[in-house]
Amino acid sequence: MEQTSITVLAVAIAVFAAPLFVDLAICLAGNYGRVRRPSAPVRKEIRLAVVVPAHNEEAMIGSTLKSLSASGPETPVYVVAHNCTDSTGEIAARAGAHVLVLSNPRLRGKGAALRHGFAAAIAEGSNAILVVDADTTASSNLIESTRLKLSEGAEATQCRYELELAPDLARSPMARLRALAFRGMNVLRARGRAGLGFSTGIFGNGFALTAATLERVPFDADTIAEDVEYHTRLVSAGIPVFWIGDAYVHAQPPQSREAQVSQEARWEGGRVRVASQSTRRLLAAILHGQWRAIETLADVWSLPLSRGIIALVLTIGLPVHWLHEFAIVCAAVALFYVVEASMLGDAPVRDLVALASSPLYLLWKALITPLVLRQSRSRAEWARTKREAAQ
């Protein structure tokens, strides 16, 4: 390979990898520092409602509503039965939820269900909405913690969101690696952003918005990654998402390999699409003084950590000294990040031991790349992830 071609390839690898490792370094720093935000002098009255978008979730909807009832028994819950062909609506009604049936084959994305639920809750007098997925276990303090943060002046919030491994999956190193990656993205990085005063992000489950925010920035996100897309719109409008670290939502990952591949490809493909669509908007916000949008821009262009590691591995075969130094620094950041994410879990030693399976995990990620690229060109469609019924 000619030296010019080698240099071009080295620069390309560095350019694509840099946003990820810069963002990781920023978020790691934020976990060790805290920016004090001024508290609101007068607390707002928050009339909170919960919206649960659901597409064929008869196996899990009952346990989800039970946990929400324990979290806030007086808080109205709206279940949007979106193009359901099972008994989701009937189960939700028996559990005491307000069931909103949305049957329109032309409205296929989760965003449509959310808009329907938001409109119904606001029409009934709510001035803030908490979104909880239909396959979720909510902490007992979720509703009260969300209401408190909103009453203190936040216009948007996101709680801690993690995967909850069933006992059989907890023994699988691959499953633990997926849960570890999920925790790094949705907990460590979110907490770090909050620590430095950046917008913490929206992860599609456990986030809340005020009615005023929805009026200012309508929820018209319709990509596969509607949560990431809407977050870029909020940041561009100067509305940060505040972190709630003492409350959580837990969801079970899919158990079948086919469902895991489908879910992973949809997540990654959706982020690629959002990155291409949101760059101009975020750059405009930065040029107009919204400097916090810099971190959001780095985030949407960040490779998943596994793909960032693959990029670093590719540097080994290139005789470019500065690229090797770049890779060493990035690898150190990645190692620190993984250890920190492990420490935030309930079994850090088991998570670190699972890292021995990293080569297989990286190979799996490489193999699903064609599916990710196809998903990045797809329109929004609600593909339910199959899970076992809650016990």
Indicate left, alpha or beta for 289 from its phi (over 0: left) and psi (-120 to 50: alpha).
left
Q: Please write the tens of the pLDDT for every residue from 311-356.
A: 999 898 899 999 999 999 999 999 999 999 999 998 999 999 999 9
Instruction: Say whether pLDDT at 389 is over 70.
Output: no
Fold of the domain spanning 48-258: Spore Coat Polysaccharide Biosynthesis Protein SpsA; Chain A (3.90.550)
Q: Is the pLDDT of residue 255 over 70?
A: no
Query: Residue 116: what pLDDT?
Result: 95
Mean pLDDT of 150-169: 93
Instruction: Map tokens 């071609």 to a residue.
Output: 5
pLDDT band at 182 (very low <50, low <70, confident <90, very high): very high
Where do the structural domains in the chain lie, given as residue ranges?
3-31+293-375, 48-258
Q: Report d(CA 15, CA 9) in Å as an integer.
A: 10
Q: Rounded mean pLDDT of 232-239? A: 96
154, pLDDT greater than 90 = yes
pLDDT of residue 298: 92
What distances in angstroms separate CA 263 from CA 41, 287, 364, 384, 388, one per listed residue?
44, 35, 13, 9, 15
The chain-wide mean pLDDT, for the chain, equals: 89
Q: Sorting pLDDT into bands at 50, 70 and 90, what band is 387? A: low
Angle at 191 between CA 46 and CA 207, to 5 degrees: 35
pLDDT at 293 over 90: yes
Token pair listed for 5: 């071609």
The reported pTM is 0.90
| pLDDT for residue 379 is more than 80 | no
How much is the average pLDDT of 139-162? 96
pLDDT of residue 160: 97
* Three-class DSSP labels, the chain: CCHHHHHHHHHHHHHHHHHHHHHHHHHHHHCCCCCCCCCCCCCCCCCEEEEEEECCCCCCHHHHHHHHHHHCCCCCEEEEEECCCCCHHHHHHHCCCEEEEECCCCCCCHHHHHHHHHHHHHHCCCCEEEECCCCEEECCCHHHHHHHHHHCCCCEEEEEEEECCCHHHHCCHHHHHHHHHHHHHHHHHHHHHHHCCCCCCCCCCCEEEEHHHHHHCCCCCCCCCHHHHHHHHHHHCCCCCEEEEEEEEEECCCCCHHHHHHHHHHHHHHHHHHHHHHHHHHHHHHHCCCCCHHHHHHHHCCCCHHHHHHHHHHHHHCCCHHHHHHHHHHHHHHHHHHHHHHHCCCCHHHHHHHHHHHHHHHHHHHHCHHHHHHHCCCCCCCCCCCCCCCC
Instruction: With a cut of 90, say whether residue 274 has pLDDT above it.
Output: no
pLDDT, one tens digit per residue, over 51-76 is 999 999 999 999 999 999 999 989 99
| Average pLDDT rounded to a whole number, residues 241-269 | 82
Smallest CA-to-CA distance from 352 within 342, 363, 362, 365 is with 342
Per-residue model confidence (pLDDT) at position 37: 62
Report pLDDT digits (tens) over 36-56. Answer: 665 556 678 999 999 999 999
Give the pLDDT score at 256: 66
Higher pLDDT, 390 or 229: 229
Q: Is the pLDDT of residue 391 over 50?
A: no
More confident residue, 252 or 285: 285
Q: Is the pLDDT of residue 277 over 80?
A: yes
Starting from the edge strand earliest in sequence, which strands make up the sheet with 207-210, in order? Answer: 98-102, 77-82, 48-54, 128-131, 207-210, 156-163, 242-251, 136-138
Condensed to tens digits (0 to 9), the pLDDT of residues 91-138 reads 999 999 999 999 887 777 789 999 999 999 999 999 999 999 999 999
pLDDT tens-digit profile of 298-323? 999 998 898 999 999 989 889 999 99
345, 183 Cβ separation under 8 angstroms: yes
Residue 276: predicted pLDDT = 86
